[in-house]
Structure 1
Amino acid sequence: MSTLVERAEVADGYRAGRTLPLRVELTRQLKRRRTLVMGAILAALPFVLAVAFAIGGQPDGRDGQVTLMDTATASGANFAATNLFVSAGFLLVIPVALFCGDTIASEASWSSLRYLLAAPVPRARLLWSKLVVALGLSLAAMVLLPVVALVVGSVAYGWGPLEIPTGGSLSAGTAAQRLVIVIAFIFASQLVTAGLAFWLSTKTDAPLGAVGGAVGLTIVGNVLDAVTALGDWRHFLPAHWQFAWADAVQPRPEWGGMIQGTAISVTYAMVLFALAFRAFARKDVVS
């Protein structure tokens, strides 16, 4: 009898794995205003920096320290690296928190979540589709910024080698390869923020709460990393390794810091993603 009931509840031809296809979810998210606004902001940043350098002149070193900012106008590659340098600590956190924190919470705030589940879309399938699309958009945001910066910098300052502030240079081809590695590391280091935002999105019906909570906790991590009294405990903070990618833009790259940072970030992220799936599987959805 129970078998007959179970069969009656499943429509003929229904396949759980075919519900809410990735292309459908991606199309929905690409059409949203916040996606377009975030893309416009990231694409505009290189132009803003180029105008700032044009008005203010060549960047100068401060307190005898030379950074990527001081070689920003040396070539298009330097300009792209500088854009990553000034945005990796905070600006690139925002799209990750936005795309991942606005996933489930936004559906709940629109009172459409229960209808999606009644479609029926299995809860795990719903989370998986939204997480993949959110991470894809986050990666696209991190690619968009340096690509636009490379184009703007090449037009403004020419196509040439990447001048290393501490001495030496990398050919344009090698610099492009290293920048790909840098983007991959920044994406990996932001997986903690993605996990936080995604988990919070399953716990609240307020998208702003999930996004703001993830950004706020990320800032707290940065503050804790600045507390030198913590000593070696700071090595367990993802924020401690967020600029380890600078080791990749050296004549002889060092991978130790990037490997440690990636391992810590991925570990925390996997725990947070697991908590999100566990919490949503037991959640009483009424929105």
Structure 2
Amino acid sequence: MSASSAPDASGTPTLERPTAPGYRARRTLPLRVEAVRQLKRRRTLVMGGIMALLPIVLVIAFAVAGGSPGSRNGDVTLMDTATGSATNFAATCLFVSAGFLLVIPVALFCGDTVASEASWSSLRYLLAAPVPRARLLWSKMAVALGMSAAAMVLLPLVALAVGAVAYGWGPLEIPTGGTLPAGTAARRLVVVVAYIFVSQLVTAGLAFWLSTKTDAPLGAVGGAVGLTIVGNVLDAVTALGGWRDFLPAHWQFAWADAIQPQPEWGGMIQGSAISVAYALVLFALAFRGFARKDVVS
């Protein structure tokens, strides 16, 4: 491999960047290789185990308690209908986990992906391979988002299977009244999972951006989770009025409108638009900052 000289516009010879014969930037760090690396990590297996165990833990809790908890003020919630059928149980699992538990895998997979390479002092060797910086980030971002989506899909799938064994396969009882046929309810749950994933893109973007800024994976993961909690706290401050509409946390349970006899899409559309807008800005900041970063780890 040798460098060659080529004249620029003024006729002055310039030194071209040497490349190996057959080198193609787009072939470096294939998604398959990155996915296998991440799937083999212990934190991936632990998180998958937690997602799969949650429905089993809830079934045991309901069995010990003698059924779903009753409403204290007369209002019926998803928790009150959890043991009605497998679809009710799956919807309940999503309800109890969407606010915090599902934030964890997103923050973990997206916040740990670049920072962990820096903490292992392997990031500079990947870039020296040479893997272009943009290619490295695209590969890691795609795999992290894919694994986050897989975690969100795993939870309701296991919940449907466990719920079918424990409570049978039947229609979804809507807390406000009425039922949805099991097939329709299952399709609506697909929409719910898709919306939850989109609503968590803000956390994903924040964790990914922080991951490019620090060599400490726990700092990136903890920072994303902490700021997500701050958003939930701010949403609870009713004095903010209409300003809460610009908080992604304000729309995190808009998916409940999808499991009504006549679904409403307005809240989900607005929540998705806000989440995607924030996420695009955060991902852009990650790529821009990493392109200029002096990588020494």
TM-score (norm 2): 0.95
Match of 1:38 in 2: 47
CA separation in 2, counterparts of 1:128 and 1:198? Answer: 11
The structural deviation recorded for 1:6 is 2.3
Larger radius of gyration: 2
Distance, in Å, in 2 between the alignment partners of 1:2 and 1:217 is 51
Which residue number in structure 1 is paired with residue 10 of structure 2? none
**Pair 1:87 & 2:97 matched:** yes
Q: In structure 2, how many angstroms separate the alpha carbons of the residues matched to 1:138 and 1:225? A: 24
| 1:140 to 2:164 alignment | no
Equivalent in the alignment of 1:22:
31
- Give the SS at the match of 2:95: helix
Which has the larger share of helix?
Answer: 1
Aligned partners of 1:260 and 1:240: how far apart in 2? 10
Write the deviation string for residues 47-73 of structure 1: whole angstroms up to 9, x where unpaired: 000000001012211221211000000
Write out aligned runs for 1:110-189 (5 A): 110-189=120-199
Structure 2 match to 1:55: 64
Aligned with 2:260 (options 250, 261, 276): 250
Q: Specify the alignment match of 2:251 in structure 1.
A: 241
Sequence identity (%): 82
Unaligned 5+ runs, structure 1:
none
- For 2:21, the aligned partner's letter is D
Match of 1:105 in 2: 115
Q: Distance in 2 between matches of 1:62 and 1:86?
A: 18
**1:11 alignment partner AA:** A
Aligned partners of 2:16 and 2:71: how far apart in 1?
71
Secondary structure, counterpart of 1:270 in structure 2: helix
Q: Supply the distance in 2 between the matched residues of 1:2 and 1:43 (Cα, whole angstroms).
A: 59
Whole-angstrom CA distance in 2 between matches of 1:62 and 1:23: 51
TM superposition score normalised by structure 1: 0.98
Q: CA separation in 2, counterparts of 1:165 and 1:153? A: 18
Q: Which runs of 5+ in 2 are unaligned?
A: 7-13
Aligned residues: 286
Tell me, in whole angstroms, the C-alpha distance in 1 between the residues paired with 2:30 and 2:227. Answer: 32
